């Protein structure tokens, strides 16, 4: 029966590897995301009761309610959530993927990414808030955060939207392929991808500039000011690819990894929409000046969808410059990256690592191999501080608990198959 699992995994990885995600449009969350109501708020990680959200993730959800004008203060927001008049739900249940706390409210703009191949599925991600480490997705909401969110909503997103519409859609995989050859691993480093994406938009931006240069100029600043504009496109692409691989009967391929403030969780292709949860991972962090390890806190995160498809921590040997951001050394990055080949179905046919002689990245995490080898997926993430805001970046290793839960569910569901 092992043949059957391998066949199922080959099918899942076939979908994963041939997906062709295209940025087709930008709309408001309320317009674009099916089932989203004016009083819905999405957040990262597996579903929890409201009382279980704590710290920065709770602050971010309440901040979302205030930003959206659903409540006049924190107390009212919390009361409305308790009453069910504001509905808090997981991003993944709405084809969205959350960066850190991952807050989506109805008026926010979302990147709409369609997989032009296979399943023709659609994924969403909202916009990067900008360079300032105080951000809603890092559990902060104040006048500055609000202004920056409105700048994204009223200036950056409309220009990018108009440019994308003029362009007829932007294929994202070729940008990511090239970026891997330019020092990006597409999770904690998106420097080249942001520039390459901007380059694709330039002809359309020039056309727009004939009418409204000032706004286009500001949008270009947002696109290229630092290393992370493309992160949300990388996440939406990864979500579109991973979802393409989801739902293959008998497959042990992991199709999502995500956090909330209390737990780490995975989904598995052959196990439906269930999340298998376990303890939070161990983190090796490099903190920005002035911060201490005691401040490190968890407030959710679904950007690890990028590792799920074989980038980020699974492609870190493409991104030695990351040492300066998240610590480590080239030697450790190489060793960590190589180890990931032990737990995957195969090598990505399009995403290649120059330092490994253009070997494909390890892709298609196989639940069986994680447990057989005892090797946990490695993920490159941003680190949030106790008082909100980003305080650093680092490398985390998943706890094996959720893989064990998934394996036992697999044995239960597929009684005649030994996973």
Stretch of 95-103, 197-205, 279-287, 375-383 contacting its own copies, by CB under 8 A: 197-205
| Minimum CB–partner distance for residue 311 and its own copies (Å) | 16
Does residue number 357 form part of the binding site for its own copies (CB under 8 A)? yes
Long-range contacts of 61-64 (CB under 8 A, 24+ apart): 61/88, 61/101, 61/103, 62/141, 63/103, 63/136, 63/139, 63/140, 63/141, 63/145, 64/103, 64/104, 64/105, 64/136, 64/141
| Minimum CB–partner distance for residue 109 and its own copies (Å) | 22
Does residue number 329 form part of the binding site for its own copies (CB under 8 A)? yes
What are the phi and psi torsion angles at 68 (to 5°)?
-80, -5
Does residue number 288 form part of the binding site for its own copies (CB under 8 A)? no
| Minimum CB–partner distance for residue 174 and its own copies (Å) | 14
What DSSP string describes 220-252? HHHHHSSS-TTHHHHHHHHHHHHHHTTT-TT--
Long-range contacts of 214-222 (CB under 8 A, 24+ apart): 215/155, 215/158, 215/159, 216/159, 218/151, 218/155, 218/156, 218/159, 219/155, 219/156, 219/159, 219/160, 219/163, 222/128, 222/130, 222/151, 222/152, 222/155, 222/156
Does residue number 330 form part of the binding site for its own copies (CB under 8 A)? yes
Does residue number 321 form part of the binding site for its own copies (CB under 8 A)? yes
Does residue number 222 form part of the binding site for its own copies (CB under 8 A)? no
Does residue number 89 form part of the binding site for its own copies (CB under 8 A)? no
Q: State the CB neighbour count (10 A cutoff) for residue 36.
A: 23
Of 116, 142, 106, give the one whose Cα is nearest residue 33.
Answer: 106
Report the residue number, 288 or 355, with the smaller CB distance to its own copies. Answer: 355
Report the residue number, 223 or 299, with the smaller CB distance to its own copies. Answer: 223
| Minimum CB–partner distance for residue 175 and its own copies (Å) | 12
Does residue number 203 form part of the binding site for its own copies (CB under 8 A)? yes
Report the residue number, 83 or 324, with the smaller CB distance to its own copies. Answer: 324
Stretch of 21-29, 79-87, 115-123, 322-330 contacting its own copies, by CB under 8 A: 322-330
Does residue number 213 form part of the binding site for its own copies (CB under 8 A)? yes
Stretch of 20-28, 258-266, 301-309, 319-327 contacting its own copies, by CB under 8 A: 319-327
Does residue number 202 form part of the binding site for its own copies (CB under 8 A)? yes
Report the residue number, 323 or 387, with the smaller CB distance to its own copies. Answer: 323
Does residue number 79 form part of the binding site for its own copies (CB under 8 A)? no
Does residue number 175 form part of the binding site for its own copies (CB under 8 A)? no
Stretch of 36-44, 70-78, 133-141, 352-360 contacting its own copies, by CB under 8 A: 352-360
Does residue number 210 form part of the binding site for its own copies (CB under 8 A)? yes
Q: State the CB neighbour count (10 A cutoff) for residue 10.
A: 15
- As to burial, measured by CB atoms within 10 angstroms (0-12 exposed, 13-18 middle, 19+ buried), residue 61 is buried
CA atoms of 337 and 244, how far apart (whole Å): 24
Does residue number 346 form part of the binding site for its own copies (CB under 8 A)? no
The 3-state secondary structure of 141-154 reads CCHHHHHHHHHHHH
Out of 165, 181, 338, 411, point to the residue binding its own copies (CB under 8 A): 181
On whether the CB atoms of residues 378 and 399 are closer than 8 A, the answer is no
Rg, Å, the chain Cα set: 20
| Minimum CB–partner distance for residue 291 and its own copies (Å) | 21
Does residue number 1 form part of the binding site for its own copies (CB under 8 A)? no
On whether the CB atoms of residues 88 and 61 are closer than 8 A, the answer is yes
Does residue number 216 form part of the binding site for its own copies (CB under 8 A)? yes
Out of 28, 131, 177, 323, point to the residue binding its own copies (CB under 8 A): 323
Out of 1, 2, 150, 206, point to the residue binding its own copies (CB under 8 A): 206
| Minimum CB–partner distance for residue 307 and its own copies (Å) | 21
Out of 354, 372, 408, 411, point to the residue binding its own copies (CB under 8 A): 354
**Helix 157-167 and helix 191-224: axis angle, to 10°?**
120
CB neighbours of 113 closer than 8 A, spacing ≥ 6? 21, 22, 23, 24, 122, 123, 124, 125, 172, 233, 236, 237, 239, 240
CA atoms of 83 and 279, how far apart (whole Å): 29
Does residue number 324 form part of the binding site for its own copies (CB under 8 A)? yes
Out of 1, 358, 408, 411, point to the residue binding its own copies (CB under 8 A): 358
Name the residues that contact its own copies, by CB under 8 A.
181-183, 191-192, 195-196, 198-199, 202-203, 205-207, 209-210, 213, 216-217, 220, 224, 320-321, 323-324, 329-330, 354-358
């Amino acid at each position: 029966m092992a043949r059957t699992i391998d066949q199922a995994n080959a099918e899942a990885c076939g979908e994963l590897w041939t997906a062709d995600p295209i940025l087709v449009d930008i709309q408001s969350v309320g317009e674009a995301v099916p089932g989203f109501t004016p009083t819905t708020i999405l957040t990262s990680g597996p579903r929890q009761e409201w009382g279980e959200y704590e710290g920065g993730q709770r602050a971010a959800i309440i901040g979302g309610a205030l930003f959206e004008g659903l409540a006049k203060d924190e107390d009212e927001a919390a009361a409305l959530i308790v009453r069910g008049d504001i509905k808090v739900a997981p991003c993944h249940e709405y084809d969205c993927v959350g960066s850190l706390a991952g807050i989506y409210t109805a008026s926010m703009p979302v990147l709409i990414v369609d997989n032009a191949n296979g399943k023709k599925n659609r994924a969403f991600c909202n916009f990067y808030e900008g360079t300032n480490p105080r951000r809603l997705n890092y559990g902060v909401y104040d006048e500055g955060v609000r202004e920056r969110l409105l700048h994204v909503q009223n200036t950056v997103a409309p220009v990018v939207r108009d440019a994308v519409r003029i362009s007829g859609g932007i294929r994202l995989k070729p940008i990511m392929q090239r970026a891997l050859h330019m020092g990006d691993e597409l999770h904690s480093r998106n420097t080249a991808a942001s520039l390459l994406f901007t380059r694709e938009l330039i002809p359309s931006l020039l056309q727009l500039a004939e009418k409204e240069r000032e706004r286009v100029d500001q949008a270009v600043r947002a696109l290229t000011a630092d290393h992370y504009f493309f992160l949300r496109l990388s996440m939406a692409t990864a979500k579109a690819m991973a979802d393409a691989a989801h739902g293959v009967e008998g497959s042990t391929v992991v199709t999502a990894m995500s956090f909330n403030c209390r737990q780490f969780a995975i989904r598995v292709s052959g196990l439906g929409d269930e999340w298998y949860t376990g303890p939070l991972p161990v983190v090796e962090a490099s903190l920005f000046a002035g911060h201490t390890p005691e401040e490190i806190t968890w407030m959710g995160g679904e950007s690890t969808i990028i590792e799920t498809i074989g980038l980020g921590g699974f492609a870190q040997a493409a991104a030695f410059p990351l040492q300066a951001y998240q610590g480590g050394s080239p030697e450790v990055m190489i060793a960590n990256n190589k180890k990931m080949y032990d737990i995957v179905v195969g090598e990505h046919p399009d995403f290649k690592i120059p330092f490994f002689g253009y070997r494909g990245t390890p892709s298609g995490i196989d639940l069986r191999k994680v447990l057989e080898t005892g090797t946990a997926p490695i993920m490159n993430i941003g680190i949030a501080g106790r008082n909100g805001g980003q305080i650093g970046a680092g490398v985390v290793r998943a706890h094996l608990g959720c893989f064990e839960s998934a394996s036992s569910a697999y044995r239960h569901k597929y009684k005649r198959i030994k996973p």
